[in-house]
């Protein structure tokens, strides 16, 4: 008899520790495809079954055991998404060690900080050059003893107490061991990871998450969104991101789905069409980029195409609202929508769906709020964007929408084992078995993270509807309060601005100032068009400060934010062309703005915008 979805959920919930997720699937369906990734040396996609994956994990488990590390020792994992990252994690967990996931494109200094702070004994990374960059910082790593290099065939002789290993040589160290020698086994309340927060302000803190924390969140997710047999997840968020780690790795494999690893973010659009995923887990930026491209294409096609697109979205949105018991907007085109809407909608919807491979049944969005305009277009055109909410400290999901109860203006209902309340200033506070153990070696920060009666501070302002749906109103610390007393959520304004393809990145300001302003990194292609229309040289730095350019940009900014109150509309702007990246220290590894460093970098420009 074939395995049902209920069978898969039951097996998922039998797991007591994280290694059980894959081990149980390997026993039940060893020949099912677990992972797929692109092998550049062969020029082809390579698949790994659950049985093969479990055998590979056992090799890593033995190799870790051969190092004779103390139970609970930390293992830094600095790898791109792929089978080696999974094996590095699973092998460490099976040996009662604690993985410390690190962002594969973080700076060498940031990586060194995490290795020191976590007191990691082992680092697993792919290239000698990556390790050398960390060593070249000159930062002493007193606890590190072994560095495993997964893509190298030879390594230099050890210098000092740190020993370098190729992956093949290191795995051979474990070959003499039998399963009887593998005496260390994890317990549910052992640490399953120390995950370092993004650090938008100050140094990142290590969030201590147990096996039980992760598994509670994993096992709650099917109540919200249930993976089914045959689902294919396209994985492109880093595994150091707890959102991807919990849902796109532990949940996906625990439910017997296939995880396909994106070749690179630059090839994401092509991989969507090649892999044709059924489920994706993404941050809003990906959806907003597709939305901006759609708008750009419509501008080129002209008025008729825009009218058809608008008609299709409106017709689809009305049906979406009825299906999800949401208020239906009144329209003088309602009757026309009933007749012409479906004719337009099918074609327009297919154009959107084709951008993601054509068979997507669930698109999960988290990490930040998705722009309402974007959500309306995607949901109206039949692409089910499911918005959720969480934080690293809660493993990570707190609440989520559902395919049969999708209210895009909210982040859905709290998960089964998550309690939510609104505290002082309507701060969202949570408690439950998915909430972290605390911050690594930071008892004061841990104490400050919780209320006196044991609820976790999220720092987010929220509201709860009568039927229990949670909405996010902004960050307590990030809400801009202008000198006129108006409160403005900068992330919402930034999200709205970035629906215009001219604005590649935006940073909104106005704290204690009389009006809102913003700094924007311009899309090079769009900037060339705008500059040409204003008879400006797009290559000249002076053009960025030309009054005509700023006026034109402010006009477009006001159009993009027209749904906000008048006091929230930007009145001043600084134009730049150099992107903000993780490497130059202006973005976190999860692509959030580092607001403090941005204020410092543009201190003179900010002063100039408010000089008048």
Q: Judging by DSSP bridges, how do beta strands 279-282 and 480-481 pair with one another?
A: unpaired
d(CA 408, CA 506): 23
| Of 279, 208, 199, residue with least CA distance to 247 | 279
- For the residues 391-404, what does the mean pLDDT come to? 95
Domain ranges of the chain: 5-186+225-281, 480-609
- Looking at per-residue confidence, does 369 or 527 come out higher? 527
What pLDDT is attached to residue 201? 44
What pLDDT is attached to residue 302? 80
- For the residues 307-317, what does the mean pLDDT come to? 87
Give the three-class secondary structure for 179. helix
Angle at 51 between CA 213 and CA 90, to 5 degrees: 30
What pLDDT is attached to residue 481? 73
What pLDDT is attached to residue 337? 52
Residue 221 DSSP class: G
- Alpha-carbon torsion angle 434, 444, 123, 283, nearest 10: 50
User: What is the pLDDT confidence band of residue 198, given thresholds at 50, 70 and 90?
Assistant: low
For 12-21, 125-134, 360-369, which range has the lowest pLDDT when averaged over its residues? 360-369
Is residue 76 scored above 50 in pLDDT? yes
- Looking at per-residue confidence, does 313 or 488 come out higher? 313
Helices (H), 15-82: 19-28, 50-66
| Range 5-186+225-281: architecture per CATH | 3-Layer(aba) Sandwich (3.40)
Is residue 523 scored above 60 in pLDDT? yes
C-beta separation of 137 from 108 below 8 A: yes
Tokens of 444: 């004061």
| Of 357, 361, 376, residue with least CA distance to 313 | 376
User: What is the pLDDT confidence band of residue 328, given thresholds at 50, 70 and 90?
Assistant: confident
Helices (H), 120-175: 128-135, 167-174
Q: Is the dihedral of CA 369, 373, 375, 378 positive or negative?
A: negative
Give the three-class secondary structure for 36. strand
Give the three-class secondary structure for 195. strand
- Helices 284-301 and 303-323: crossing angle in degrees, nearest 10, is 140
User: What is the pLDDT confidence band of residue 332, given thresholds at 50, 70 and 90?
Assistant: low
C-beta separation of 454 from 437 below 8 A: no
User: What is the pLDDT confidence band of residue 57, given thresholds at 50, 70 and 90?
Assistant: very high
Is residue 505 scored above 90 in pLDDT? yes
Extended beta strands in 22-143, E state: 33-39, 44-49, 74-78, 98-101, 122-125
What pLDDT is attached to residue 351? 85
Q: Judging by DSSP bridges, how do beta strands 397-400 and 413-414 pair with one another?
A: antiparallel
- Tally Cβ neighbours within 10 Å of residue 195: 25
| Of 122, 5, 118, 120, residue with least CA distance to 64 | 122
β-strand partners of 419: 431
- Tally Cβ neighbours within 10 Å of residue 539: 10
Tokens of 469: 């749906």
User: What is the pLDDT confidence band of residue 370, given thresholds at 50, 70 and 90?
Assistant: confident
Is residue 200 scored above 50 in pLDDT? no
User: What is the pLDDT confidence band of residue 331, given thresholds at 50, 70 and 90?
Assistant: low
320-323 long-range contacts, CB within 8 A, separation 24+: 320/379, 320/380, 320/406
pLDDT digits (tens, 9 = 90+) for 97-135: 999 999 887 778 889 999 999 999 999 999 999 999 999
Is residue 218 scored above 80 in pLDDT? yes
- For the residues 555-570, what does the mean pLDDT come to? 88
User: What is the pLDDT confidence band of residue 520, given thresholds at 50, 70 and 90?
Assistant: very high
- The residue to which tokens 């969140």 are assigned: 217
What pLDDT is attached to residue 194? 98
Domain 480-609 has CATH 3.20.20.60: no
Q: Judging by DSSP bridges, how do beta strands 122-125 and 146-149 pair with one another?
A: parallel
- For the residues 490-509, what does the mean pLDDT come to? 92
What pLDDT is attached to residue 338? 54
Name the percent of the chain lying above pLDDT 90: 74
pLDDT digits (tens, 9 = 90+) for 455-494: 999 999 999 999 999 998 877 777 787 766 677 888 889 9
- Looking at per-residue confidence, does 370 or 144 come out higher? 144
d(CA 445, CA 432): 19
| Of 395, 410, 385, residue with least CA distance to 283 | 385
Is residue 451 scored above 50 in pLDDT? yes
pLDDT digits (tens, 9 = 90+) for 405-426: 999 999 999 999 999 999 998 9
């Amino acid at each position: 008899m074939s395995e049902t979805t209920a069978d898969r959920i039951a097996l998922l919930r039998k797991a007591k520790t994280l290694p059980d997720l894959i081990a149980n699937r390997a026993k039940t369906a060893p020949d099912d495809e677990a992972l797929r990734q692109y092998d550049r040396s062969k020029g082809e996609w390579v698949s790994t079954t659950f049985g093969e994956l479990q055998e590979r994990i056992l090799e890593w488990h033995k190799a870790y055991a051969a190092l004779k590390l103390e139970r609970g020792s930390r293992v830094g994992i600095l790898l791109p998404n792929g089978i080696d990252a999974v094996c590095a994690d699973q092998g460490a967990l099976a040996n009662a060690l604690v993985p410390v996931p690190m962002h594969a494109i973080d700076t060498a200094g940031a990586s060194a900080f995490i290795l020191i702070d976590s007191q990691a004994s082992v680092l697993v990374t792919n290239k000698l050059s990556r390790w050398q960059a960390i060593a070249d910082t000159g930062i002493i790593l007193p606890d590190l003893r072994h560095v495993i290099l997964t893509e190298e065939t030879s390594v230099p002789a050890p210098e000092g107490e740190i020993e370098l290993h190729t992956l093949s040589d290191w795995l051979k160290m474990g070959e003499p061991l039998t399963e009887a020698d593998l005496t260390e086994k994890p317990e549910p309340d052992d640490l399953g990871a120390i995950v370092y927060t993004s650090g938008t302000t100050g140094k990142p803190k290590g969030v201590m998450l147990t096996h039980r924390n992760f598994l509670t969140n994993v096992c709650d997710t099917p109540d919200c969104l249930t993976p089914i047999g045959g689902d294919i997840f396209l994985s492109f968020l880093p595994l150091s991101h707890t959102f991807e780690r919990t849902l796109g790795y532990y949940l996906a494999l625990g439910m017997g789905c296939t995880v396909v690893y994106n070749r690179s973010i630059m090839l994401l659009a092509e991989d969507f069409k090649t892999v044709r995923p059924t489920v994706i887990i993404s941050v809003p930026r990906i959806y907003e980029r597709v939305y901006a491209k759609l708008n750009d294409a419509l501008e080129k096609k002209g008025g008729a195409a825009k009218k058809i697109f608008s008609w299709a979205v409106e017709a689809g949105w009305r049906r979406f609202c009825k299906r999800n018991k949401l208020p239906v907007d009144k329209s003088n085109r309602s009757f026309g929508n009933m007749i012409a809407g479906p004719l337009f909608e099918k074609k327009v919807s297919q154009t959107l769906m084709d951008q993601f491979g054509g068979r997507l049944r669930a698109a999960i969005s988290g990490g930040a709020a998705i722009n309402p305009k974007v959500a309306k277009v995607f949901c109206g055109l039949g692409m089910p964007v499911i918005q959720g909410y969480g934080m690293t400290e809660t493993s990570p999901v707190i609440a989520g929408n559902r395919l049969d109860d999708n209210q895009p203006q909210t982040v859905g209902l709290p998960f089964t084992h998550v309690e939510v309340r609104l505290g002082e200033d309507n701060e969202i506070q949570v408690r439950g078995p998915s909430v972290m153990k605390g911050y690594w070696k930071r008892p004061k920060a841990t104490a400050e993270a919780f209320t006196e009666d044991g609820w976790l501070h999220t720092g987010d302002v929220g509201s709860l509807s009568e039927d229990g749906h949670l909405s996010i109103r902004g960050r307590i610390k990030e809400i801009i309060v202008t000198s006129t007393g108006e409160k403005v959520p900068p992330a919402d304004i930034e999200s709205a601005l970035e629906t215009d393809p001219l604005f590649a990145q935006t940073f909104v300001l106005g704290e204690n100032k009389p009006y809102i302003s913003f700094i924007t990194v311009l899309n090079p292609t769009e900037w060339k068009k705008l500059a040409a229309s204003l008879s400006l040289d797009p290559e000249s730095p002076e053009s960025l400060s030309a009054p005509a350019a700023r006026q034109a940009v402010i006009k477009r900014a006001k159009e993009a934010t027209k749904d906000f109150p008048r006091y929230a509309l930007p009145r001043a702007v600084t134009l730049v062309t150099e992107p903000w990246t993780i490497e130059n220290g202006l973005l976190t590894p999860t692509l959030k703005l580092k607001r403090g460093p941005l204020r410092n970098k543009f201190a003179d420009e900010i002063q100039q915008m408010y000089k008048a």
